[in-house]
Structure 1
Amino acid sequence: MMKRTNRIAPALGAWLLGAACLVAGAARAQDEVVARGAGAAVTRAEVAGLSRSLSPEGRARLLADAAARDQVVRTLLAQKAVLAEAKAKGWDKQPLVQAAIEQAQREVLLQSYLAALSEPAADYPPEPEIQAAYERNRATFMAPRALHLAQLYVALPPGADAAAVDGAQKKSADLARRAQARGADFEALAKMYSEDKASAARGGDLGFVPETMIQPAVLAAANALKRGEVSAPVRTPTGFHVLKLVEVREAALRPLDEVRAQIRAALREQRAQQNVQAYLAKLAAADAVSIDDEALKKALVPSQ
C-alpha cells in the first residue's frame, strides 16, 4: 500500500517555480504588495497561493519560522527578477524554450484533467476495505519499541582537544554521581546543569524515543538500566550523556483509529491511479489505434 507524505520542501519548490513562470495580470498588479525588491514584487495573492499548496504542518512551520519566510520571499523576488530580464531579452521566443513551455502546458493540462477524471467517489473507501487494508499491512502499522529517557548532557565542541574532553568527562561523571545519589532530584540537576537547552527546560526529559532513532552507545546503556536508574556517562561524537530510564514501551500495533486517515488517503490514491490506467487503456485499446510501424521506426532515427 502506498504511503502519502506531506513535505514542505517539494510543495514550496513547486510553488516557487510555478509562481516565477506566471505573467502578472492586471488583477494581480492591483493586489496588496507584501514584499518588493530586485525590480519585482510579491503580492498577497501569491502568498495565499503558497499557503494553499502546503500541508497544514508545512503551513504551521512556515508561520513559526521567520527566517524561512524571509528566504521564500527573497527567492521568489530573485526568480521574478530573472524572469523579467529573460522576457525583456526575448528568451521566451527561442524555439527550444517555446517547445519546453508548450510541453509543460500540455503536461499540466493532461495531469489536471486526469486527476479530475480519476477522483474516487467521496465515500470511497468503505469501512470494510479500510479494515481489510489494516489487517493486510499490520507490519506497516507497528509502533517500534520506544524508551522514555531523560538526560544530563555535557557538550563537546567540534575538534575538542584532550583537555576539553577530560574536562567534559569529569563534569559528566560528577553529574552522574550526584544524580545516582539517594534522593537525588534529576529534574533539578538537568535544569541547572544540562547543556541541551531544549531538554534541560523540561528537566532533562526527552520523551519517548523509538529505539531505531537512538545512537547505539546510548541504546546499549539505556537497555542496561532498570526503570528509574541513572547511567554512567555515555560518550557520543557530540558530548557525554547521563541517562535516566523513565519507562519502556514495547513494540505494538497502532490502533486502527490512529491510522484510519492514512489508510483512507492511500487507498484513494491507489484507486485514482487505477482509474487513470483504466481510462488510458480504454483510449489506447488495440481496436481503436492504427500504427504505421515503418514510419514510427523512421521517426525514431535522428535526422542528419
Structure 2
Amino acid sequence: MKAAHVMVTAILAFLAGVAGTVLVTQPSEARDMQPKTVSPPAARAAPQGAAVASLGDVSLYQGEVTAWLTTLPDGARSALRDKRAMFDDWARRRLAEKALVAEARQQGWEKRDEVSRALARAEDQVLLRSYLSAVSEAPEGYPDEALLKQVYENGKDNMRVPERYHLRQIFLAATGEDAESIETRARQLTQQARAKGTDFAALARRHSDEATSAAQGGAMGPLPLAQLTPEVRPVVAGLEPGQVSDPVRTAAGWHLIKLEQVDPERTATFEEVRGQLTATLREQRRRQNAESHLRRLVGESSLSIDGAAITAILEEQQ
C-alpha cells in the first residue's frame, strides 16, 4: 500500500495547475467517474480557419491567433487595437518557429532516436494530464450555494480588499525629444493643474500621451498600490485627496498624478469572492477525485523492482 501511495503522489505531482492552500476540506467519496470517449488525434493538427499571415510556405491561422489572445490579460488584448506592433512581433516569431519546424520535418528530424523518445515522453504527459483532468472533473453544480456561504463566513476575516485609489494622470511619453524639455513641460503642466479652478480631466484629455486614460480625463482605478509602478506607489501613498503630485519619472516617461479619493481597506463581499471560492473548491474536489481514481487504479499492487537489472543499468552509465 505504501508503494501505491508513492506512485499516486508522484503522478499527482505532474499535474498542471496544481492548486495551493485551499480554504476548506470537504471530505466525501469521489463521484463515480467513467472515462470519456476520446477520438484518436490526427497526426498533425489541421489549419484552424483562414490564414491571416504567411512567411514563405508557412502560414498563421485564425484559430492560432484566437488561442494566443486568450492567454493575454484583458488590458493587453485591448492595447493590441492601438499597438499592432506587439502582434506583428509575435506573428513573426511564431511563423519563424513554424518555418524551422517544417525544415526539421523535411530533414526527418523527428525520426532521430533522442527526438522520438522526447516526443513520446511529451505525448505521455499530455495524455496523462488531459485524461486525469477529464476523469477527475468536479460534478456539475459543485459547490452549491450553502457550501459557498459556509466557506465565506468561516474565512471572511482573511478576505480583505486593500485600500484602492481613484486617480487621474497626465502622462508625457519619453520620446526622442530632449528629456530636459519634456521635464520642463511636465512641471509647467503641474503648475497649471494645481491652479485654483483648473479642470485636471480637461488637461489630461488635451495633453496626456496615454490614449486610453486620456479619453476618460486621465481616470485610472480604483487601483491598489500593488498595481502601480514602484516609482509611483510612494508618491500616491503620500497624497491627500485633491492633491496633484510633482512629476514622477519612470522608464516610460513623466506622470502627473491627482488623487481624487481613497476607498479604505475592507472585508470583501460574498459576491466579490464567489467566483474565486467556486474555482478553489472545484479544484480541491478535482484533486480529491484524481487521488481517489489513482488509488483505485493502483489498488493494493506491490511495487516490484529487479535490483540486479537496475544495478547493471547504473553501472553502464558510469
Alignment partner of 1:92 out of 97, 110, 126: 110
* 8 Å Cα contact 1:120-1:268 kept in structure 2: yes
Alignment root-mean-square deviation, CA: 3.9
Deviates more, 1:95-104 or 1:176-185: 176-185
Match of 1:294 in 2: 307
The counterpart of 2:77, out of the listed 50, 55, 61, is 61
1:24-39 alignment runs, 5 A limit: 24=44, 28=46, 32-39=50-57
Matches within 5 A, 1:1-304: 2=20, 23-24=43-44, 28=46, 32-43=50-61, 47-48=62-63, 51=66, 55=70, 61=77, 64=81, 66-138=84-156, 141-153=159-171, 164=180, 167-168=181-182, 170-214=184-228, 218-231=232-245, 233-238=246-251, 241-285=255-299, 287-292=300-305, 294-295=307-308, 297-298=310-311, 301-303=314-316
Q: Give distance in 2, aligned partners of 1:259 and 1:76.
A: 37
Is the 2:241–2:260 contact (alpha carbons within 8 Å) kept by the matching residues of 1?
A: yes
Q: CA deviation at 1:119?
A: 0.9
SS in 1 for 2:220: strand
The one-letter code of the counterpart of 1:37 is: L
- Would you say the 8 A contact 2:49–2:63 is kept in 1? no
Conserved in 2, the CA contact under 8 Å of 1:149 and 1:243? yes
- 2-side partners of 1:171 and 1:31: how far apart? 49
Residue 28 of structure 2: aligned partner: none
**TM-score, normalised on structure 2?**
0.68
Moved more, 190-199 or 51-60: 51-60
Q: Distance in 2 between matches of 1:216 and 1:67?
A: 26
Q: Which digits, 9 at most, give the CA deviation of each residue in 1:267-294, with x for residues without a partner?
A: 2122212222222233334x32241352
CA–CA separation in structure 1 for the residues paired with 2:72 and 2:85: 17
User: Displacement of 1:148 after TM fit?
Assistant: 1.2
> Structure 1's 215 and 108: CA in aligned 2 closer, same or farther, altered over 3 A?
closer
- Which AA in structure 2 matches 1:177? Q
> For residue 12 of structure 2, what is the aligned residue in structure 1?
none
1:176-204 deviation line (CA, Å, top 9, x unaligned): 33333332222233333445554443333
The letter for the 2-side match of 1:61 is R
Deviation (angstroms), 1:32: 4.9
Bigger fraction of residues in helix = 1
2:8 corresponding residue in structure 1: none
Higher relative contact order, chain-length normalized (CA < 8 Å, sep 6+): 2
Residues 231-282 of structure 1: CA deviation (Å, up to 9, x unaligned): 4x24434555443221111112222212212221222122212222222233
Unaligned runs of 5+ in 1: 4-21
What is the SS of the residue equivalent to 1:288?
A: coil
Preserved CA contact (<8 Å) 1:40 1:81: yes
Aligned-partner Cα distance in 2 for 1:170–1:89: 60
Q: Distance in 1 between matches of 2:186 and 2:105?
A: 62
Distance 1:111 1:247, change over 3 A: same
Which segments of 5 or more consecutive residues in structure 2 lack a partner in the other structure? 1-18, 22-41
Question: Which residue number in structure 2 is paired with residue 18 of structure 1?
Answer: none
C-alpha displacement at 1:91, in angstroms?
1.7
Residues 231 and 250 in structure 2, CA contact (< 8 A), matched pair in contact too: no
Looking at structure 2, the residues matched to 131 and 281 of structure 1 have their Cα atoms a distance apart, in angstroms, of 31
The 1:77/1:298 distance shift into structure 2, 3 A limit, reads same
Instruction: Output the amino acid matched with 1:84.
Output: A
Deviation per residue, 1:101-153 (Å, 9 max, x gap): 22222222222221111111112122233223334554664221112122344
SS at match of 1:119: coil
Give the aligned residue type for 1:227: P
Q: How many residues align?
A: 276
User: Residue 32 and residue 196 in structure 1: after superposition, are their counterparts in 2 closer, same or farther (change >3 A)?
Assistant: closer
Against the structure 1 CA distance between its residues 30 and 114, is the aligned structure 2 distance closer, same or farther, given a 3 Å change threshold? closer
